[in-house]
Amino acid sequence: MKRIMHKIYVLFCALALIAACSACGSQEPSSTNSQLNTLPVIGPDITMASKEPSSEPNQTEAETSKQTEQAGSSEAPVTEPVQTTEAPTEPATTQEPETTKATEPTKEQTQELVPNVTNFVTEGTNGYVIVIDPGHQEKGNSEKEPVGPGASETKAKVSSGTASRFNGYPEYKVNMEVALKLRTELLKRGYTVIMTRTGHAVNISNIERATIANNVNADAFVRIHCNGSENASVHGIGIYYQTPQNPYNAALHDEAKALNGCMLRHMLALTGARDDGLVESDAYSGINWCKVPAGLVEMGYMTNQEEDAKLQDGAYQNLLAQGMADGIDEFLSTRTPREHN
């Protein structure tokens, strides 16, 4: 009987020992699984978290719970400010393009916004004043005016200019298109720009155009024209200004030559046009009446089919305008602004 009881006791102890070992083995994988399941949540801080006492995971859970509660409670307030911020932001974003659209046409399309205005001034920031004269106008004025101060010789006040031999497109429109592009380019560079005319339905004589430049003592007076010839093969860019013997303003010859030389060089470089030269002449009343450096730019021949097509092309007009602007930059780079009236 004792033996039987002893065996039962030994068996009971063995079973108890097995149960204890089984319990120990099941705890280790449980801890490992807990850490593995935590990895994606805690990320790089898992190493530090695993080294801390077991009570801190409870604190982490509490903190996580608090963060979750805070996130839940802050979603509404956070979302509301975001909506409040977005609401004014959208109008602001909408206003910016509107402002840009309102500003750019003011600079680039003056004739549409302020049509048929003479002596139109836009202030710049660099201290220099450039007067641009888009040559001619829609209807010429055959009334006479002196070719120079005190001259007995007279000429028509202004003509309507030439036109394309191939599609009839008028010179005065091409002149304006390039003049507006030049204006935009000069405004970008900080110049004060004055347009002698902003539309075609004006009546402003050559003397009056020169007077606009004289009245402000402009740093440069750029007269924009297109040329024509009986010979359809003639083409190229040329610039006209006074001779050294001009009876009205010979003292300006050297300055005018410098200005026009700079403009012609840059225009030829950008366009690849033929060099039609710097031409000295005292036949132009719009030059003879000038008291500031001036040049009459003949941008090309509307009687040459290839060049006429270029003159009516917006991309080519941009090159002409940029070349003039680059030349003005070079000319004024070594000169201080004149004293403007």
Instruction: List the CATH number of the domain containing 128.
Output: 3.40.630.40
Do 131 and 9 share a domain, yes or no? no
- The single-letter DSSP state of residue 85 is H
| Distance between CA atoms of residues 238 and 274, nearest Å | 9
Compute the Cα dihedral for 165, 170, 171, 175 and give only its sign.
Answer: negative
| Distance between CA atoms of residues 206 and 274, nearest Å | 28
How many residues are listed for the chain in this entry? 341
DSSP element (H, E) containing 280: strand 275-280
- Which of 32-41, 250-259, 261-270, 330-339 shows the lowest mean pLDDT across its residues? 32-41
95 inside domain: no
Please, what is the average pLDDT of the chain?
Answer: 79
| Domains held by the chain: number | 2
CB 231 within 8 A of CB 302: no
Do 158 and 25 share a domain, yes or no? no
Do 269 and 200 share a domain, yes or no? yes
Give the residue from 51, 67, 82 where a domain finishes: 51
- The single-letter DSSP state of residue 299 is E
212 inside domain: yes
Instruction: Compute, in degrees rounded to 10, the torsion defined by CA atoms 65, 67, 73, 79.
Output: -140
Q: What is the pLDDT of residue 15?
A: 64
Q: Which domain holds residue 189?
A: 110-332
| Distance between CA atoms of residues 314 and 159, nearest Å | 25
For the stretch 243-255, what's the b/e string if a residue is b when 16 or more beta carbons lie within 10 angstroms of its beta carbon?
eeebebbeebbeb
Do 39 and 180 share a domain, yes or no? no
339 inside domain: no
Instruction: Flag whether pLDDT at 311 surpasses 50.
Output: yes
81 inside domain: no
Do 157 and 244 share a domain, yes or no? yes
Do 27 and 133 share a domain, yes or no? no
Tokens of 315: 């991309």
Using a pLDDT cut of 70, give the percent of the chain over it. 67
Tokens of 38: 């935590």
What is the distance in angstroms between the CA of the first residue and the CA of the last residue of the chain?
Answer: 136
Give the residue from 34, 51, 68 where a domain finishes: 51
12 inside domain: yes
pLDDT digits (tens, 9 = 90+) for 148-196: 999 999 999 999 999 999 999 999 999 999 999 999 999 999 999 999 9
Nearest alpha-carbon partner for 323 in 185, 230, 195: 185
Q: For the full predicted model, state whether its pTM sits above 0.75.
A: no
| Distance between CA atoms of residues 43 and 38, nearest Å | 8
Q: Which residues pair with 295 in a beta bridge?
A: 222
Q: Please state, in angstroms and as integers, the Cα–Cα distance from residue 81 to each residue in 10, 69, 70, 74, 141, following that order.
A: 74, 19, 16, 11, 66
Do 20 and 125 share a domain, yes or no? no
105 inside domain: no
Do 168 and 312 share a domain, yes or no? yes
pLDDT digits (tens, 9 = 90+) for 207-241: 999 999 999 999 999 999 999 999 999 999 999 99
- The single-letter DSSP state of residue 170 is B
Do 30 and 121 share a domain, yes or no? no
| Distance between CA atoms of residues 100 and 187, nearest Å | 15
Residue that the structure tokens 């009056």 belong to: 208
85 inside domain: no
57 inside domain: no
Instruction: Compute, in degrees rounded to 10, the torsion defined by CA atoms 266, 269, 272, 275.
Output: 60
| Distance between CA atoms of residues 135 and 223, nearest Å | 6
Do 115 and 251 share a domain, yes or no? yes
Do 118 and 28 share a domain, yes or no? no
Do 120 and 251 share a domain, yes or no? yes
